[in-house]
Structure 1
């Protein structure tokens, strides 16, 4: 019974979200009337303040893979040739495998694309054409980092200020071709403005070099180690190095995954090779805080939507883990079978002999006489186990790529399995792995509440927001004190920001502001808090506050679309018209498709009597060559 309790708690929390939304309204009647929270006569906060502090920082005594090479030269050299060992690089350091002889493509619509290689530099160009087929706008960006070994393809990053962004141009090994990056639609997309932070890079980079309090802003040297490093699987290496240099006694502190229990062993692979519908960092943890020897949920809580919603769809490019766990090999191995049963993490499988290589892996558990297929049929595929039991299929979310079925089906399927009827609970999530057994009720509720807040924002649904808030509030101190006093104990900015989102959806703006103000007390550079407080100040016609928040945002991200509009508005309001015009033109040099700013700049030129400049911007707008604002 004890083992069933955590699962019962998860089931009650997850399944109860929608029904909960229908009954929580009574509790929030006072809030919806604008009451500040708490009851008269009592101002008690219950609990221990220490339990609401952030956890201590993880051990970061890294030494870098080059130090590992001093003693493990052959393993290091072999590993560097693997896809993980080449997962990311600065442009000048990346091996050139792309085709730079056919570098112009037109995926449809008004956008054309071009790639230019000049020595160690690569430029990506997006060219906007008008109805007559003439170029009207060109944006060219220098590539700073290349993501991907090239085994399937590559993605390219550009840098603007402290931030990294994805290029709309990608390269695909299948067909040796350039095309739009995954997720970019030809007719309308983010261009060079899809922000890339640690939530993306933790599965591609060894270690990033973020600014304090940020997971999306980087020092000039953005990467401390570009590719996935030795220490991502073995833990920070300095204790191990010192142990051997000092010839210390006792146990070697390095982590050998083979010596871990099955779940902790597999968690090392799961941190990257499992893609959930939502990946939520634990309180006070970042995406790079997982350490070998941890359980996955010690740092990352992986949430998946109900299997009924995803069953039968084409394979997703990072869902090997879930497929493997559906295999009979995994389920009947008593924890012995895992990722490294077939994949050597230090070496690449021989491309010219894959069938024999993986057949040998299979034969470690299976004998040849167990295969009932006729030898004539088996010989047609060089007696390959994987040809029948791990067939290739299109990767549903990445064009021009194929993907291996890790379910290891007994019989090769020719048609996708039909999806069973859905339950209707489209926003129900389940926890991956052992999270339902190892996390506390409050920790589970925090993760599910964050997920439900995202659903509520997407649907603009105040009832879902109220249900989410019920879960999030379990992480607050108990008691009857006003909310501001209870929030003063909380250091968890992720929790606070989601609470603010819920209050906003419920039109409880005073409590929303309380949450955002507390976020800024903990993290004075929290951009969402600054932006939302600026928006409120504008609605309240509090220009002094609006200017303060805008200027703070400008210092953090001067080229943001939203911030540039806000900055232009402040300069206009202050009567600094020449500065406003110059700033607007500078932004458009960097972001030529910033429609709203161009419209505002045109109006400002018109207001100042500069008809020629106003018409110049009007022509670009009238050509229809700028994107529709989202």
Structure 2
């Protein structure tokens, strides 16, 4: 299987990748670089570099009749809707969207918390337990190792309705982290969270893009990776009425005051009064997951309002169908739009044609409910299957025409085939022939019958650059970066105040090994926003490669100032100290990392090097053995051994 095929099958973070940062083992790379020092960049960012003026705000479009799209209209939460819409409110609370998140874990009945449960996963022992009114997850070595304590996290928020499963978040110092343990409802079991590798640390930052489709509303801190204003969930945890109807402040004020209206009530969006494409955009904001989501220049996903085009706020890059024909690699939106039902309807088949956004049918009503949805269009056509075959399937249209298939993205779960095939499809192997040489693995999604948007070329390039830093170093990553860099430079020549463009260019140039250019792009980004975490991270990477220890250290101090609970930033500071042979300072940084995550293998490896270089061989041997035992793959273990050997071999005379 090629690197690309592996990538296209790989699990992704819940909600999408957003602005992903892979910390993993990057700190190990810098001492494996060639001995010669690259020439630092000669250019200095221009003193007058300023953020670009924002593009026109779609929320101010006077042509839109619904008045609650405007940015000043506030969210009010579901409680404000309950008095007038009691029946809908009651059924919606049982809908998966109405249960998409909870911060009341002590009252949760979805999972099995008792009795306390412990099991092993590779070299780790995982456990779940209740402690007073708190829920806890713990990870520790499967074998008792001196010098290691459990990594335990308090669970503050559960993400997911429990239909397929749930993941769990902890909120520390305004930063949000995902637990490495999740609940999988379809198999009634606890297991490792999707996409986690405990050998890489098992502590994942939760980006705002991931929260977007799971909680009602949060306020991300500008430039942060996973930090939010407090309280984290100011109104409620789960997705509510306003996700599909828009902010409710204006509607509540006018209806509470008895203000009369004629015709359509324009104080709030009722999706039934929208064109089909805008109705679908309400669903696309979450159910068009894609591979990478890129905010449009000057916009953020949280600014979106129902009644406006979703792609005015976000470009969603999806898997290129030329790269994979596997059903599991295609999202349900792309499946539905490829279906004969959708195409024959000329775009009139909507998500709400079959799905009620306010309620879900009970298990006893499910077959009849969806059969009636099918008969609304197919009443004149009798089912061609033999009667006995139909009775065997309880005369259920969806059992035959929308079968459940295993998910490529999340273990222990299944998805429904939204291609609506006439006959259940046979198992289709992965694409055998190579894709066209000039194609790329992801492309921007474009709604049916919508013309191309030239500025999406910039968004596509940002997505390609992000993916380039997620792949292992090699030809696949370089080809992405090579495609991204010229597109980004072209876009930045038009909008030089685009901070996300500069960060993406730094990522692309870094992937290509062009560290001077990566440095300069990161400096440009920081001139636009001095505390932007992704820009600081890119600067540290390039400064380490260029051996500019002073700049690397200053940037990592900034990172820790803003995000002190980030283990990877402590390890990054240790990497800077190790590179300068500051063994005692590196040891201190490793201990700070281990105070947060006691069984982080990379922290023990760095600690082993610092002890060995100070002549404390017994301590070095102990922490090296811990690091090796906590590795999850043979390759990682070999990498650790080789890196330790190179860092501790005697200097040549």
Q: Same fold (TM over 0.5)?
A: yes
1:375 pairs with one of 387, 390, 412: 387
CA distance in 2, matches of 1:414, 1:383: 21
Aligned partner (choices 336, 341, 353) of residue 324 of structure 1: 336
CA distance in 1, matches of 2:575, 2:397: 65
Aligned match of 2:122: 109
1:427 aligns with 2:440: yes
Provide closer, same or farther for how the CA distance between residues 248 and 50 of structure 1 changes in structure 2, counting only shifts above 3 A.
Answer: farther
Match of 1:82 among 95, 115, 125: 95
Contact 2:446 2:452 (C-alpha < 8 Å) held by counterparts? no
Provide the secondary structure at the position in 2 that maps to 1:255: coil
Give, in angstroms, the shift of residue 248 of structure 1: 5.4
Q: Which residue of 2 aligns with 1:219?
A: 229
The one of 66, 85, 96 aligned to 1:72: 85
- Residues 230-269 of structure 1: pairs in structure 2 closer than 5 A: 230-246=241-257, 247=259, 249=261, 251-269=265-283
The whole-number CA distance in structure 2 between the counterparts of 1:197 and 1:94 is 26
1:469 aligns with 2:472: no
Give the whole-Å Cα distance in 2 for the aligned partners of 1:108 and 1:216.
27
* Counterpart contact for 2:141–2:599, Cα < 8 Å: no
Separation in 2 of the partners of 1:103 and 1:473?
55
Post-superposition, which runs of at least 4 consecutive aligned residues in structure 1 deviate over 6 A? 32-35, 132-135, 569-580, 606-609
**Taking structure 1 as reference, are residues 439 and 598 closer, same or farther at Cα in structure 2, changes over 3 Å only?**
same
Whole-angstrom distance in 1 between the partners of 2:395 and 2:479: 58
Q: What is the Cα deviation at residue 190 of structure 1?
A: 4.0
* 1:97 equivalenced with 2:110 (yes/no): yes
Matches within 5 A, 1:574-613: 584-602=590-608, 604=610
TM-score normalised by length of structure 1: 0.81
TM, length-normalised to structure 2: 0.78
CA separation of 1:161 and 1:450: change in aligned 2, threshold 3 A = same
Residue ranges of structure 2 left out of the alignment (5+ in a row): 1-38, 60-70, 641-653
Partner residue in 2 for 1:184: 196
Secondary structure, counterpart of 2:377 in structure 1? coil
1:516 aligned partner: 522
State the partner residue of 2:625: 622
Question: In 2, distance between residues paired with 1:392 and 1:467?
Answer: 37
> Against the structure 1 CA distance between its residues 195 and 57, is the aligned structure 2 distance closer, same or farther, given a 3 Å change threshold?
farther
Q: Aligned-pair distance for 1:159?
A: 3.0
Distance 1:161 1:198, change over 3 A: same
Query: Is the CA contact 1:104–1:112 (under 8 Å) kept in the aligned structure 2?
Result: no
Q: Distance in 1 between matches of 2:489 and 2:511?
A: 16
Counterpart secondary structure, 2:81: helix
2:534 matched residue in structure 1:
528
Deviation for aligned residue 1:50? 9.7
2:51–2:528 Cα contact (<8 Å) kept: no
1:252-291 aligned within 5 A: 252-291=266-305
Does the Cα contact within 8 Å between 2:102 and 2:159 map onto a contact in 1?
yes
Distance in structure 1 (CA, Å) of the matches to 2:146 and 2:583: 33
| Contact preservation (8 Å) 1:86, 1:227 | yes
Partner of 2:204: 194
How far apart, CA to CA, are the structure 1 residues paired with 2:560 and 2:419? Answer: 50
CA contact (8 A) 1:323 1:406 kept: yes
1:309 & 1:85 partners in 2: Cα distance?
Answer: 36
Query: Quick one: which of 162, 178, 185 aligns to 1:166?
Result: 178
Show structure 1 runs of 5+ residues with no match.
1-31, 479-488
CA RMSD of aligned residues (A): 3.6
Note closer, same or farther for the CA distance 1:604–1:57 as it changes in structure 2 (3 Å cut).
farther
Hey, what's the Cα distance between the residues in 2 that align with 1:320 and 1:165? 28
Partner deviation per Cα, 1:361-407 (whole Å, 9 max, x = no partner): 11212227521223232222222212221222222322222222221
Partners of 1:436 and 1:444 within 8 A in 2: no
Report how many aligned residue pairs link the two structures: 572
Partner of 1:396: 408
Distance 2:40 2:131 in 1: 63
- Structure 1 range deviating more: 197-206 or 458-467: 458-467
Q: Secondary structure at the match of 1:213?
A: coil
Kept in 2, the 8 Å contact 1:389–1:408? The answer is yes
Task: Tell me the SS of whatever aligns to 2:186.
Answer: coil
Max radius of gyration: which structure? Answer: 1
2 CA distance for matches of 1:75 and 1:370? 34
Q: Which residue of 1 aligns with 2:25?
A: none
Aligned residue number for residue 548 of structure 1: 554
CA displacement, residues 91-110 of structure 1 (integer Å, 9 cap, x when unaligned): 43652221224653545421
Does the 8 Å contact 2:458/2:488 carry over to 1?
A: yes
Distance 1:364 1:167, change over 3 A: same
Of 396, 409, 412, the residue aligned with 2:421 is 409
Does the 8 Å contact 1:62/1:238 carry over to 2? yes
Is 1:210 the counterpart of 2:220? The answer is: yes
